[in-house]
Structure 1
Amino acid sequence: MADDDLLLGYEKDENELWLWDDLPELHMEVGYRINRLLHFERSAYQEISVAETSAFGRMLVLDGVPQITEKDGYIYNEMISHIGLLTHPNPQYVAMIGGGDCGPAREAARYPDIKRIDVVEIDPRVTDVCQRLFNRSRAAALDPRITIFHEDGARWIQKQRERIDVLLIDRSDPFGPAAVLYSRAFYQHVYSSLSYDGIAVFQSGSPFFDMKGLKTTYHRLQSLFPIVRTYVTSIPSFPGGIWSFTVASKRHDPLAANTDKLPAGTRYMNKAIARSAFALPEYIQDALRT
């Protein structure tokens, strides 16, 4: 294990170890007290660590930035997954870019009629670490319908043509290798990869701290898809708490989704939330209209 001072984002304060998520564009930092560091390595793509935090249990950290936690990760995974899966009347082929922890794949596997679930994660070490240190990830990897491709998602999507029924874009922040996942060209490739009535769901950031990013996602998708809707949820470990996702659909409106299809066993998503998540605060509605 490397010395603590070599890890991005980690700092010692007297006898305590903290992870600081530096958000310079917001003029703030968010700190997480670390009980112990469970894993650290530098892969070919990034620095990977898993920390046991006081507030959120185990946390996956990439290049010093928290990604998902043991305690509230189910909220993110359920919210990025079930809206699109409920909206499509009969999804057979589901794919996701990112999500190497297999959380969204685990949610898709709750639907028995889905025949194929592809996970595209650029870094094989993320998958390996998550399967070893997050129990739910190991369980998801055992489903025979799930295939993991360790490829660049922006390149993988260009090879897909009118096949995917529901595509989940579990992308990280819009800088570094993930920046291409926010480009106009990428959105066009997403559109081309979907079946005639396909649906794509994008992680679209904090509407409070990054309204510009949300607006850009929303309007670029509007230029391609006839139906585009943003919805929100609350994720305690994320900066600001409130988080957005944007669904783009070729034919089916998520406001008319069949919520009776929602499988048992979810911890956050229910029929009411599948509707109410689209009830946006006025400041978000105003911003998306401009």
Structure 2
Amino acid sequence: MDQIRKGWFSELNDLWPGQCMSLEVQQVLQHTKSQYQDIVVLQTKHHGRALILDGIIQCTEHDEFAYQEMISFLPLCAHPDPASVLIVGGGDGGVARECHKHPRVKRVVQVEIDGEVIAASKRHLPFMAEGFDSAKLTLHVGDGFRYMEEHREEFDVIITDSSDPIGPAVNLFTEAYFGLLRGALKSGGVICSQAGTVWAGLDHVRQTVDRCRKHFPTVRYALASVPTYPSGQIGFVVAAASERHDLAAPHHRFSDEELAKMRLRYYNADVHAAAFALPNFVKKALS
């Protein structure tokens, strides 16, 4: 709460030295400390409601759809038949909301360690928490590491919707974690994990991609624009358990009518392919 001064919340963190994002605040809707992290929900003046964990913006009503759609539909559409999906994290419900939309998804299992984030989202972020109402979803409050250890070769797609690498999310960026992901995937499976921004954390992106490569033969990094994230951009590590898997070529190309019916405002097949086109300095760093 000491990050709110004179009516403005400022995202001050050493992960992004020398810069911050600020949001004008109308009301603090909730401030609690769970077993794992500090949870704040704000009503902002221009960005709607915002979820803040450990002082870092997780989502705002204004632009959350860009992140939620991309972290979900990139792996879902890179897989020919994503019938069974595991979500690790995602306590706001946004990824569950998007996975529900895909017509080939039959079963979604979500494991979120912090039940208080789920409760806060259901109370204050119904536009995202609607994902928890999906008939396809089975929700577990618990440890994603332990769940994957106990469920081997079970999922077609695994999506890790984590916060940034502080607090309970630190372990979701390790080499051991990517090993667990590989073990829980079926043959030919695809994963997607939040992987940070190249503008404010290129070394972190490179380390995350390198750790993923220890366990997956096909690994790519993709970009999306989310204005309220550091530098206005976020990246994802997308990987396949099989070689020569063209992750940038979507298996599912939805018509304009289908996109509208699914209420997709950011993702389409052209955006999918373009997300994997990287600037030269990023290609060099990740090569």
TM-score, normalization by structure 2: 0.92
* Aligned equivalent of 2:160, options 146, 150, 169: 169
Q: What are structure 2's unaligned runs of at least 5 residues? A: none
Is contact 1:106-1:140 (8 Å) kept? Answer: yes
Residues 1:276 and 2:274 are matched in the alignment = yes
Q: Among residues 121, 131, 150, which one is paired with 1:130 in the alignment?
A: 121
Distance 2:103 2:123 in 1: 26
Distance 2:4 2:144 in 1: 29
Change (3 A) 1:8 1:171: farther
Aligned equivalent of 2:177: 186
Q: Structure 2 counterpart of 1:257, which letter?
A: P
User: Is contact 2:83-2:105 (8 Å) kept?
Assistant: yes
1:232 Cα deviation from its structure 2 partner: 0.4
Take 1:73 and 1:129, find their aligned partners in 2: how far apart are those partners? 16
| Unmatched tracts of structure 1, length 5 or more | 1-6
Structure 2 counterpart of 1:21, from 11, 35, 41: 11
Letter in 2 for 1:20: S
- Hey, what does 2:214 align to over in structure 1? 223
Q: What is the CA deviation profile of residues 182-230 of structure 1, one whole-angstrom value per residue up to 9, with x for unaligned ones?
A: 1111111111010011111010001111011110111122222121111
2:205 matched to which residue of 1?
214
8 A contact 2:253–2:268 mirrored in 1: no
Q: What is the letter of the counterpart of residue 281 of structure 1?
A: P
Secondary structure in 2 aligned to 1:174? coil
Q: Any idea what SS the aligned residue of 2:36 has?
A: coil
Post-superposition Cα deviations, 1:126-174, rounded to whole Å, max 9, x if no partner, equal 1111112122234322221111111122222222200111000111111
Once residues 30 and 189 of structure 1 are traced to their aligned partners in structure 2, the CA distance between those partners, rounded to angstroms, is 34
Per-residue deviation, 1:8: 4.9
The structure whose RCO (Cα within 8 Å, separation 6+) is larger is 2
Q: Which moved more, 1:112-121 or 1:102-111?
A: 112-121
Give, in whole Å, the separation in 1 of the partners of 2:137 and 2:102.
12
Question: Which residue is equivalent to 2:3?
Answer: 9
Q: Secondary structure at the match of 2:86?
A: strand
How far the C-alpha of 1:81 sits from its partner, in A, is: 0.5
Tell me the SS of whatever aligns to 2:20.
strand
Contact 1:102–1:119 under 8 Å retained in 2: no
Q: 4+ residue runs of structure 1 moved beyond 6 angstroms?
A: none
- Distance in structure 2 (CA, Å) of the matches to 1:110 and 1:187: 26
Structure 1 window deviating more from structure 2 (213-222 vs 258-267): it is 258-267
**Are 2:101 and 1:88 aligned?**
no
CA distance in 2, matches of 1:28, 1:57: 22
Q: 1:29 aligns to what SS in structure 2?
A: coil
- Paired residues for 1:46-195 under 5 Å: 46-195=37-186
Question: Where does 1:27-46 land on structure 2 (aligned, <5 Å)?
Answer: 27-46=18-37
Q: How many Å apart are 1:255 and its aligned residue?
A: 2.3
Query: Are the structure 2 counterparts of residues 128 and 113 from structure 1 closer, same or farther at C-alpha, using a change threshold of 3 Å?
Result: same
- Contact 1:8 / 1:64 at 8 angstroms: preserved in 2? no
Q: What residue in structure 2 maps to residue 286 of structure 1?
A: 284
Distance 2:133 2:13 in 1: 37
Are 1:258 and 2:251 counterparts? yes
Return the alpha-carbon distance in structure 1 between the equivalents of residues 212 and 45 of structure 2. 39
Q: CA deviation at 1:175?
A: 2.2
Shift of 1:119: 1.4
Question: Root-mean-square deviation (CA), in Å?
Answer: 1.5
Percentage of matched positions with identical amino acids: 33
8 Å Cα contact 1:123/1:151 also seen in 2: yes
The CA deviation at 1:271 is 1.5
Q: Measure the CA separation in 1 of the matches of 2:127 and 2:26.
A: 21
TM-score (norm 1): 0.91
